[in-house]
Structure 1
Amino acid sequence: MKIRCLPIDTYPENTAFLLRGGGDFAPEQFQAMRKLAIGDGQKSILAALAIVDDKRLLAPGEIGLGEQAFRRLGLAEGSKVTVRQAQPPHSLEFVRRKIDGDTLEDAEIGEVIRDIAAYRYSPMEIAAFLVACAGFMTTQETFALTRAMADVGSRLHWPPGPIVDKHCIGGIPGNRTSMIVVPIVAAHGLVMPKTSSRAITSPSGTADTMEVLASVDLSATELKEVVDRAHGALAWGGRVNLSPADDILISVERPLRIDTFDQLVASILSKKVAAGSTHLLIDIPVGPSAKVRSQSEAVRLRKLFEYVGGKLGLTLDIVFTDGSQPVGRGVGPVLEARDVMAVLRNDPAAPADLREHALMLAGRVLEFDPALEGGTGLGRARALLDSGQALAAMEKIIDAQGRRTVAIEVGALLHDIRAGHHGSVAAIDCHLIARIARAAGAPMDKGAGIDLMRKVGDRILQGDILYRIHAESPAGLAFARELAEASPAYTVAS
């Protein structure tokens, strides 16, 4: 059959389209052929099957490939391929054993991950693996999963010396410290090639926010050029193809809302190892509406990071931070970028909590420098920020990555959520704030989000604005407003 590219986005799955009655397959066979093997003897892919009844889309003798499948197969349109029913991956037997409660060997987990990265699993089969692992994993299985994910895909290599990085496990809106830490560290002279994911369940990831200022879609070669010029980078990890199995797993985890500590550790450390990091700071916010709710959970997660990171040869520093409320004022790409640049510019109106949190983390990263006297990291970080050297480093990174020439504005549609009575802010629900910001359209609509006017401890009067919702579309504003009015996210004590 001849392949034809159809302009259909089927991410993350490979999907092939056959015309009913347009080939050598009888209609009754279509239902049995859940997955096809397609190739020319040199290149091949597995793809889920969909049936087309409109002859305007496909001609007899053609097989249509969705955008992802066509790109991954890597053959020119019109090339002849052989189509046959695909055999289930052998590694599915290991998944079935895991479902039964067995402990898998390192090689078995490695085979599962290689098949997932090669798109041999359907989303349903990936979900079965994730749910089985969420039930129980040994620390050795977590290490094996992390190493297997790091081994699939690209690896970055850097000159000898500390290659530093930091990662916050997330769950705290507005906590965009990486965009302040990286330029501080780069201004000091340490190499910090920060690669980040786009938002999974949050209103913005570091890559989403940095994209307001500069290009983040960098190839491995482009990333290395940026780091050579600026000592640091703030790029999207997906283009660099670091731990690609993780991106596939995340696409299934997101709708299922699976986020276990084992999968969290494997996701973070596999990408850091693939990125070539040698020294890593982990920020674990702890709070009643954060990902980590208690000190005991934080200690358990820290020990898992230490076990897996130690076996991978990483030097780790793990810090517990306050996760009781959002950090900064802005929640959403444009609003968070505004806060970041205000801190770097030493604007008196910049959020003090974001500034101090970023300085603390930057100081911890600088302590990785063997030439720096112990205990002086925070002072050095503050000096680099106060002097403007960190801002100059950020401008250099932005220019090296490709400065955005047309500014993205904050969403013009807005709605204020006001206090219903006098009192003081007793609590802010981070999870609800994130949900409201996402309902408004963030991070896809970069100007959407929330501007926080009050923080925990602030005294307020009836009618004072607690926060302002920004949206780019009437539908986004309506969704966010409805959610906020049902669950305002603020607790005001009389």
Structure 2
Amino acid sequence: MKIKAVAIDTHPENTAFLLREGNGYSPEQFQALRKIEIGNGEATILATLAIVDDTCLLDPGTIGLGEQAFRRLGLPEGTEVTFRQAPVPHSLEYVRRKIDGDTLDDTEIAEIIKDIAGYRYSPMEIGAFLVACAGFMTTQETLALTRAMADVGRVMRWDADIVVDKHCIGGIPGNRTSMIVVPIVAAHGLTMPKTSSRAITSPSGTADTMEVLATVDLAEDRLAEVVRKENAVLAWGGRVNLSPADDVLISVERPLRIDTFEQMAASILSKKVAAGSTHLLIDIPVGPTAKVRSKREAIRLRKLFEYLAGKLGLVLDVVFTDGSQPVGRGIGPVLEARDVMAVLRNDADAPIDLRDRALMLAGRVLEFDPAIVGGRGYARAMELLGSGAALKAMERLIDAQGRRHSLPQVGGYHHDVCSLFEGKVIAIDCHTIARIARLAGAPMDKGAGIDLMHKVGDPVRRGEVLYRIHAHSETGLAYARDLAGASSGYVVQS
């Protein structure tokens, strides 16, 4: 068979395509080969098989590879390959033992993760492993999982004694502090290669918002060049193969809504170790509609991070922040990028809560620098922001990554959600606001999202606008409007 690139995005799985007829196989034989091994002796991948009946897509004697499979195999189109039914992974026996309640050792967990990263597991098998781990997982198993995930894939190395990073565990719309912290830290001179994932359940991630301003899909050599030149980067981590097993696990975790502290910690720390970080700040927002809803839960998560980081050789600082409401005014890539740049420009109308939180976090990161006198990190962060040094660092970073000269615009369709009562805003449901913004089209539609006109503590009049929904289509606006009509996410007390 000769391979052919098929322009179908099957992320995150490898998918291969074969004609049902004309290749010398019966349909029954095709269907038996659910998972196949494809290669030519130099390179091999495992892929899920899909049967094609349209001869316009493939010719007899060719095997089509989706975008992911073709890139991962790394062979030119037209290369002769063979394929066979993929062997059943031996590590599935360990998954069955975990389902039965056994504790797995480091070697067994490492073998499972290696097979998951090699796409040897089906989504159902990955789901079985995740559910078994969610039921019970020891601290040692969590450490083994973190190490295994970090070791599978690329591990980056930097020519610096201190490589800093920060990570927020998420759940708070508009919390785009990394895009302010990174240029502040870069302007100071510390190395901060910030790689981020795209949004999965939120209206925007750091990579989605940075993509409004610059290219984030950077190959490894270009990413490294940007860091050498500018001390930092704000890039999508999926391109550089950092902890690839984590991306596969996340693709199954999210639909199942599995997000235990153990799996969260392993996911975050494996990515940071693989990115070459030596010092890490973890931001844990705590609030009634955040991922972490009580101080007790936050302390338990902090202790888990501290234990794992100590074993992995990471210097760690954990900070608890207010997770009671969204941060800033904009929810969605374009609107969040607007807020970030307003803070960096020191605009008078920049969101104060976003500015203050970013300065606090930047100060904590700067304190990793031995040259900073203890307690002076915040003052140094204020100096770098106020002087314009952080803005200049951000502009250089945008140019180095590839400035977007045609910027996406805010969606042309909008709907105002108004208060039904006169009184004071006493609560905002982060989860509901995020869902409304996503239904409007964020983050895929960069200009979709929500503009918040009021925050907790603000007085409002009956009929006054609480927030404005933006969308690029009438359909997206209708979905978001319907949800907002059922539950606005705001509690106004008269």
Same fold (TM over 0.5): yes
Matches of 1:257 and 1:490, distance apart in 2: 24
State yes or no: 1:425 paired with 2:425: yes
Letter in 1 for 2:158: W
Matches of 1:371 and 1:244, distance apart in 2: 35
Deviation of residue 396 (structure 1)? 1.4
Cα distance change, pair 62–228 in 1 and its aligned pair in 2 (3 A):
closer
Deviation of residue 78 (structure 1)? 2.7
State yes or no: 1:234 paired with 2:196: no
Contact 2:160 2:191 in 1 (8 A): no
What do the CA deviations read for 1:13-50 (whole angstroms, capped 9, x no partner)? Answer: 22222222433433333333221122222222222222
> Secondary structure at the residue paired with 1:162?
coil
Matches of 1:485 and 1:267, distance apart in 2: 36
Q: Which residue of 2 aligns with 1:99?
A: 99
Q: Which residue of 2 aligns with 1:42?
A: 42
Matches of 1:383 and 1:9, distance apart in 2: 45
Deviation of residue 9 (structure 1)? 2.3
Q: Which residue of 2 aligns with 1:483?
A: 483
Cα distance change, pair 8–402 in 1 and its aligned pair in 2 (3 A):
closer
Matches of 1:6 and 1:115, distance apart in 2: 25
What do the CA deviations read for 1:435-455 (whole angstroms, capped 9, x no partner)? Answer: 000111101101000000000
Deviation of residue 74 (structure 1)? 2.3
> Secondary structure at the residue paired with 1:155?
coil
Q: Which residue of 1 aligns with 2:302?
A: 302
Contact 1:13 1:123 in 2 (8 A): no
Cα distance change, pair 339–16 in 1 and its aligned pair in 2 (3 A):
same
Matches of 1:219 and 1:279, distance apart in 2: 24
Matches of 2:356 and 2:71, distance apart in 1: 45
Contact 1:287 1:294 in 2 (8 A): yes
> Secondary structure at the residue paired with 2:75?
coil
Contact 2:193 2:234 in 1 (8 A): yes
Within 5 A, what are the aligned runs for 1:387-398?
387-398=387-398
Matches of 1:50 and 1:379, distance apart in 2: 58
Q: Which residue of 2 aligns with 1:469?
A: 469
Deviation of residue 97 (structure 1)? 1.2
Q: Which residue of 2 aligns with 1:276?
A: 276
Matches of 2:9 and 2:162, distance apart in 1: 41
Deviation of residue 165 (structure 1)? 0.8
Matches of 2:224 and 2:40, distance apart in 1: 35
Deviation of residue 352 (structure 1)? 0.7
Letter in 1 for 2:194: K
Deviation of residue 393 (structure 1)? 1.3
Matches of 2:50 and 2:470, distance apart in 1: 40
Within 5 A, what are the aligned runs for 1:83-232?
83-232=83-232
Deviation of residue 55 (structure 1)? 3.3
Letter in 2 for 1:121: Y
For structure 2, the 5+ residue unaligned runs are none
Within 5 A, what are the aligned runs for 1:413-452?
413-452=413-452
Number of aligned residue pairs: give it: 494
Letter in 1 for 2:282: I
Matches of 2:71 and 2:387, distance apart in 1: 48
Q: Which residue of 2 aligns with 1:4?
A: 4
Letter in 1 for 2:10: T
Matches of 2:266 and 2:114, distance apart in 1: 15
> Secondary structure at the residue paired with 2:319?
strand
Matches of 2:56 and 2:350, distance apart in 1: 57
What do the CA deviations read for 1:207-233 (whole angstroms, capped 9, x no partner)? Answer: 111111111111222122212222222
Matches of 1:325 and 1:438, distance apart in 2: 17
- Please, what is the CA RMSD of the aligned residues? 1.3
Contact 1:164 1:279 in 2 (8 A): yes
Letter in 2 for 1:20: R
> Secondary structure at the residue paired with 1:235?
strand
Instruction: Compute the TM-score of the two structures, normalised by the length of structure 2.
Output: 0.97
Instruction: Compute the TM-score of the two structures, normalised by the length of structure 1.
Output: 0.97
* Structure 1 stretch displaced more, 370-379 or 57-66: 57-66
Q: Which residue of 1 aligns with 2:380?
A: 380
Contact 1:13 1:122 in 2 (8 A): no
Deviation of residue 493 (structure 1)? 0.6
Runs of 4+ in 1 over 4 A off after TM superposition: none
Letter in 2 for 1:476: G
What do the CA deviations read for 1:266-317 (whole angstroms, capped 9, x no partner)? Answer: 1111111111111100000000000001111101100110111110000000
Contact 2:329 2:351 in 1 (8 A): yes
What do the CA deviations read for 1:400-444 (whole angstroms, capped 9, x no partner)? Answer: 111111121111110000000101101000000000001111011
Q: Which residue of 2 aligns with 1:23?
A: 23
Matches of 1:457 and 1:469, distance apart in 2: 21
Deviation of residue 3 (structure 1)? 2.5
> Secondary structure at the residue paired with 1:280?
strand
Matches of 1:81 and 1:399, distance apart in 2: 42
* Structure 1 stretch displaced more, 372-381 or 68-77: 68-77
Matches of 2:237 and 2:402, distance apart in 1: 16
Cα distance change, pair 54–182 in 1 and its aligned pair in 2 (3 A):
closer
Letter in 2 for 1:388: G
Matches of 1:117 and 1:406, distance apart in 2: 37
Q: Which residue of 1 aligns with 2:290?
A: 290
Matches of 1:408 and 1:160, distance apart in 2: 36
Identity of aligned residues (%): 75
Matches of 2:105 and 2:432, distance apart in 1: 40
> Secondary structure at the residue paired with 2:456?
coil
Q: Which residue of 2 aligns with 1:80?
A: 80
Matches of 1:99 and 1:185, distance apart in 2: 45
For structure 1, the 5+ residue unaligned runs are none
Letter in 2 for 1:37: E
Contact 2:37 2:85 in 1 (8 A): yes
Q: Which residue of 2 aligns with 1:364?
A: 364
State yes or no: 1:66 paired with 2:70: no
* Structure 1 stretch displaced more, 405-414 or 454-463: 405-414
Letter in 1 for 2:365: V
What do the CA deviations read for 1:345-370 (whole angstroms, capped 9, x no partner)? Answer: 11110111111111111111111110
Matches of 1:359 and 1:427, distance apart in 2: 25
Q: Which residue of 2 aligns with 1:53?
A: 53
Matches of 2:53 and 2:444, distance apart in 1: 33
Q: Which residue of 2 aligns with 1:264?
A: 264
Matches of 2:218 and 2:51, distance apart in 1: 37
> Secondary structure at the residue paired with 2:467?
strand
* Structure 1 stretch displaced more, 9-18 or 293-302: 9-18
Cα distance change, pair 59–230 in 1 and its aligned pair in 2 (3 A):
closer
Q: Which residue of 2 aligns with 1:320?
A: 320
Letter in 1 for 2:94: F
> Secondary structure at the residue paired with 1:179?
helix
Cα distance change, pair 20–154 in 1 and its aligned pair in 2 (3 A):
same
